């Protein structure tokens, strides 16, 4: 069928035509937004799960729902080498300038002035212009250089501003496992302060399955977070991820074709989008049949091998690839580090740097002490398909 009308959206962070199977997380977020407005705080939400399971699009939906209510939202992605300070500062600029207008209340003016000082703390040359005269206004002081102090000042003053405006502030952080541990600790501290002083501030984290442990190691307040594991879709939702987008274009799926794609995808959202897209392209329409689905899965697997899996594989050095192969022997379940070392004929300690490098690259994680597993579903099978050693 016409690829121009193809409604599927495989790709990191790409908004699906139908965001399915996340009702619980969305309902919880909706409640938090409503609670925020009546001065009741909620603990930060932590979305964690494997690659391609839909954490980023869920976080973006959180943003959309907060923005819809007029909230200030800063959505950032850690891991680019930039500090939390800079990422947050820059993400806040747009929403804050949208609020700046003549005649605003004094608490907003104060928040803007403090935001200016925060900007100065990481960017001495740059200045923001809100188009308002802030010279006689109280505020500022978020530029001591101490992250704890500065961020608490900034968020505290912005909390006052959003309350005055009848809105709230949401801070959403993707790939949070890549934040430095002092940055994570600072955010947990802010969440704690927000709860004590009833700030209308909501924090959402998203990241790999290692994130809960990393948070726990960063700060004792971490046990007060709300952990939500994001997993493959349930069978109904997985079918809907295929049928709802098609339905919007008056295209139907044969029930057997749905089963072919849902099984092959293991109900993982990324794979459903990829196989859905390819099945659509090969089908004559307006019905996607079993043969279309089988061909779609074959082509989709090829596309994943050359993209989703390949980028991670190619980022690994030959020594790291050997390590990954040794894990792949156990499938996607994970392996004991000692067992991996034995397979490679090495002492476990000598493989520490290889293991650490692969964790830093986000390809593997440690589900528990002494165990390593792929962050990418289907990685073991992909490695099995690679013949070049």
Ligand X SMILES: Nc1ncnc2c1ncn2[C@@H]1O[C@H](COP(=O)(O)OP(=O)(O)OP(=O)(O)O)[C@@H](O)[C@H]1O
Give residues in contact with ligand X (CB under 6 A). Answer: 9-14, 16, 19-22, 49, 51-57, 241, 269-270, 273
Minimum distance of ligand X from residue 299's CB (angstroms): 16
Minimum distance of ligand X from residue 251's CB (angstroms): 17
- List helix spans (H) across 166-205: 181-197
Q: Give yes or no for a contact between 205 and 44, defined as CB atoms under 8 angstroms apart.
A: yes
Identity of the residue, 9 or 222, whose beta carbon is nearer to ligand X in the bound complex: 9
Look at residues 231, 248, 270 and name the one whose alpha carbon lies nearest to residue 278.
Answer: 270
Q: Which does 19 bind (CB under 5 to 8 A by kind): Mg ion, ligand X, none?
A: ligand X
Look at residues 107, 113, 180, 183 and name the one whose alpha carbon lies nearest to residue 146.
Answer: 183
Identity of the residue, 49 or 95, whose beta carbon is nearer to Mg ion in the bound complex: 49
Residue nearest Mg ion by beta-carbon distance: 56
> How far, in Å, CA of 264 to CA of 201, rounded?
41
Residue indicated by tokens 């156990």: 330
List residues near Mg ion by CB under 5 A.
Answer: 56
Identity of the residue, 36 or 44, whose beta carbon is nearer to ligand X in the bound complex: 44
Identity of the residue, 89 or 269, whose beta carbon is nearer to ligand X in the bound complex: 269
Which helix H or strand E contains 293, and what residues bound it? helix 290-306
Minimum distance of Mg ion from residue 57's CB (angstroms): 8
DSSP label at 11?
S
> How far, in Å, CA of 224 to CA of 229, rounded?
16
Identity of the residue, 251 or 272, whose beta carbon is nearer to Mg ion in the bound complex: 272
Minimum distance of ligand X from residue 58's CB (angstroms): 7
> How far, in Å, CA of 50 to CA of 48, rounded?
7
Q: Which does 109 bind (CB under 5 to 8 A by kind): Mg ion, ligand X, none?
A: none
Identity of the residue, 10 or 36, whose beta carbon is nearer to ligand X in the bound complex: 10
Minimum distance of Mg ion from residue 13's CB (angstroms): 6
Identity of the residue, 56 or 321, whose beta carbon is nearer to Mg ion in the bound complex: 56
Minimum distance of ligand X from residue 174's CB (angstroms): 7
Residue nearest ligand X by beta-carbon distance: 54
Taking 3-state DSSP, the helix, strand and coil percentages for the chain, each rounded to the nearest 5, stand at 55, 10, 35
Q: Give yes or no for a contact between 134 and 113, defined as CB atoms under 8 angstroms apart.
A: yes
Longest Cα separation, the chain: 72
Minimum distance of Mg ion from residue 344's CB (angstroms): 31
What is the phi-psi region of residue 272: left when phi exceeds 0, alpha when psi lies from -120 to 50, beta otherwise?
alpha
> How far, in Å, CA of 256 to CA of 239, rounded?
11
């Amino acid at each position: 069928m016409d690829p121009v009308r193809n409604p599927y959206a495989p790709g990191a962070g790409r908004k699906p035509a139908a965001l399915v199977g996340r009702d619980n997380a969305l309902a919880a977020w909706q409640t938090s937004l409503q609670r925020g407005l009546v001065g009741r705080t909620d603990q930060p939400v932590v979305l964690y799960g494997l690659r391609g399971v839909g954490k980023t699009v869920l976080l973006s939906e959180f943003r959309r729902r907060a923005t819809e209510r007029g909230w200030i939202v800063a959505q950032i992605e850690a891991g680019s080498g930039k500090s939390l300070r800079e990422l947050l500062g820059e993400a806040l600029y747009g929403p804050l300038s949208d609020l700046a207008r003549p005649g605003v209340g004094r608490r907003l003016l104060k928040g803007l002035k403090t935001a200016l000082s925060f900007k100065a703390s990481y960017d001495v040359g740059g200045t923001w212009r809100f188009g308002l005269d802030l010279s006689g206004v109280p505020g500022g002081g978020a530029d001591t250089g101490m992250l704890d102090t500065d961020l608490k000042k900034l968020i505290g003053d912005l909390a006052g501003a959003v309350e005055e405006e009848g809105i709230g502030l949401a801070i959403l952080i993707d790939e949070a496992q890549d934040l430095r541990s002092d940055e994570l600790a600072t955010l947990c501290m802010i969440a704690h302060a927000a709860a004590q002083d009833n700030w209308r501030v909501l924090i959402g984290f998203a990241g790999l399955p290692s994130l809960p442990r990393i948070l726990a190691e960063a700060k004792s307040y971490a046990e007060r977070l709300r952990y939500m594991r994001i997993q493959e879709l349930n069978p109904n939702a997985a079918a809907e991820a295929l049928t709802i987008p098609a339905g919007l274009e008056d295209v139907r799926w044969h029930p057997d074709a749905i089963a072919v794609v849902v099984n092959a995808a293991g109900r993982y959202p990324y794979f459903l989008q990829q196989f859905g897209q390819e099945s659509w392209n090969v089908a004559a329409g307006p019905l996607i049949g079993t043969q279309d689905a089988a061909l779609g899965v074959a082509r989709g697997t090829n596309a994943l091998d050359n993209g989703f899996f390949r980028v991670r594989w190619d980022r690994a050095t030959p020594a790291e690839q050997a390590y990954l192969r040794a894990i792949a022997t156990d499938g996607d379940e994970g392996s004991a580090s000692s067992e991996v070392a034995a397979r490679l004929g090495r002492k476990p300690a000598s493989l520490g740097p290889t293991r650490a490098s692969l964790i830093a690259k986000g390809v593997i994680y440690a589900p528990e002490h002494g165990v390593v597993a792929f962050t990418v579903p289907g990685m073991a099978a992909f490695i099995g398909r690679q013949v070049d050693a």
